[in-house]
Amino acid sequence: MQNELMQAIKDFDDIIKMRYLESIPKDMENLVLILLPATNGITGGMISILNIAKTSRAVVGNDGCTVQTSYYPGQRASCFYRKYKNDEIILNFEDIADTFPNVEHLIIHIPEYVTEFIFKDLSEKESKYLKGIKNLQINIMDQNVLGMPAPDKLEYLNEFTKNITQTTVHHKYTSQEICDTWGYPLYFLPPKQDIGYIYTSYEEKQNIICYSKDMHPMKEAIIDKLRTEHPEFELIEVNNITFEQYLQLISKVKYSITFGEGFDGYYAEPVFSGAIGFTVYNDIFFPSGIYKTFKNVYLSYDEMLKSICDDIDFFENNVEEYKSLNLVLNEEHEKLYKKEEYVESFCKFYSGEPTFVPSKSSARKDLSKTK
């Protein structure tokens, strides 16, 4: 029965994909292609990339340009992401050359962590196709600067084009220094904020603490302490659920904990839903030191282990302080990510107006020893 179901799903996908390919004009000269991983899971980074595709389509997707998504070269999967409600039909990279044979201007968006090797094992047909594009631009989507390969690891991209750019999503590493380190024009593409968060007041929330699935040496100790000292709370790891289920979950929780980047979705998104997220400060992702002054932000995981249970007691006994902090955190995020600047940033990218350009004195640094 399971095999029959899987075959039925595959047949359905093949029909949808075939009909979609038949609907695409074959004479398009301008193409924007966003590359995605073939996976059954869904992450904040992937949602961000899907929003890049959607917004790009709204900004430049007209009769003269088409915006498409495909899986990485060599990967094949369903033409849908089923764990995130969206309208995106994802092609296989091998389909691109046949579907768009007349492309003269191609922009390819690539996640930073695969850029080092993504075009090293292309088929002869795929390699010839890319090298034959008159105007090819490769854009590296730097969503996590720690995942960016060292500059020397990206030299092979010059075999395809000299037109290489970089986009960032965090204010902290949207800088001249980062631009000069990699030597590529840098554009700031802020993450989309209004993606269906469900705001609920403290009084509507349940005694739930959710936490990220990231691995960390202190994670088990912190969760065990919470279970012992706050047995009235249900602790839920965010794992193997759809994004819509995640939005429902964070609308119910009182608190969240991130064991990842720190200034990430597990910290910020519950705040948009009226909760308080606990995190550990770092100089890489946090936009300013003001966050170190907030009661929900620690300077180390040792401090989190020591203080988080007492801090939850404080907020539970001082509900107005809980509400006040949530309001302040929302205001700080509003300062960082203004809705009117979201689309404008995409217009600047596709118009070729970078936030920073490499300085004349810049020299690429070898970051391999710092990774």
pLDDT tens column, 233-261: 999 999 888 888 899 999 999 999 999 98
Q: Which residues contact 286 (CB under 8 A, 6 or more apart)?
A: 172, 262, 263
Mean pLDDT across the chain: 88
Cα–Cα distance for residue pair 308/312, rounded to 1 Å:
6
- Give, for 149, the enclosing helix (H) or strand (E): none
* Cα atoms found within 13 Å of the Cα of residue 135, Cβ hemisphere only: 7
Average pLDDT value for residue range 112-119: 95
Question: For residue 39, what pLDDT is reported?
Answer: 75
Burial of 110 (0-12, 13-18, 19+ CB in 10 A): buried
Question: For residue 191, what pLDDT is reported?
Answer: 78
Same topology for domains 2-193+343-351 and 202-336, yes or no?
yes
Stronger pLDDT, 156 or 194, i.e. the higher one: 156
Out of 18-32, 180-194, 351-365, the most confident range is: 180-194
* Cα atoms found within 13 Å of the Cα of residue 256, Cβ hemisphere only: 31
Is 364 a residue whose pLDDT tops 60?
no
Q: What is the pTM of this model?
A: 0.80
The class level of CATH for 202-336 reads alpha beta
Task: Show the tokens assigned to 367.
Answer: 């970051």
Is 194 a residue whose pLDDT tops 70?
no
What tens digit of pLDDT does each residue of 299-324 get?
999 999 999 999 999 999 999 999 99
Contact (CB, 8 A) for 107 and 153: no
Task: Show the tokens assigned to 144.
Answer: 């996590």
The region, left, alpha or beta by phi > 0 then psi within -120 to 50, assigned to residue 74 is: left
Task: Show the tokens assigned to 241.
Answer: 């659920």
Is 225 a residue whose pLDDT tops 70?
yes
Contact (CB, 8 A) for 53 and 67: yes
Question: For residue 243, what pLDDT is reported?
Answer: 82
User: Can you name the residues that pair with 316 across neighbouring β-strands?
Assistant: none
Question: For residue 305, what pLDDT is reported?
Answer: 98
* CATH architecture entry for 2-193+343-351: 3-Layer(aba) Sandwich (3.40)
Is 7 a residue whose pLDDT tops 60?
no
Contact (CB, 8 A) for 149 and 371: no
Stronger pLDDT, 194 or 291, i.e. the higher one: 291
Is 8 a residue whose pLDDT tops 60?
no
For the chain, what percent of residues have pLDDT higher than 90?
64
Burial of 2 (0-12, 13-18, 19+ CB in 10 A): exposed
Question: For residue 370, what pLDDT is reported?
Answer: 35
Question: For residue 366, what pLDDT is reported?
Answer: 42
Contact (CB, 8 A) for 188 and 168: yes
Domain boundaries in the chain?
2-193+343-351, 202-336
At 4, is the pLDDT very low, low, confident or very high (cuts 50, 70, 90)? low
Q: Which residues contact 295 (CB under 8 A, 6 or more apart)?
A: 311, 314, 321, 325
- The dihedrals phi and psi of 68, each to the nearest 5 degrees, come to -130, 160
Cα–Cα distance for residue pair 20/136, rounded to 1 Å:
25
What tens digit of pLDDT does each residue of 9-42 get?
555 566 777 787 777 877 889 999 999 998 766 6
What tens digit of pLDDT does each residue of 67-81 get?
999 999 988 777 777
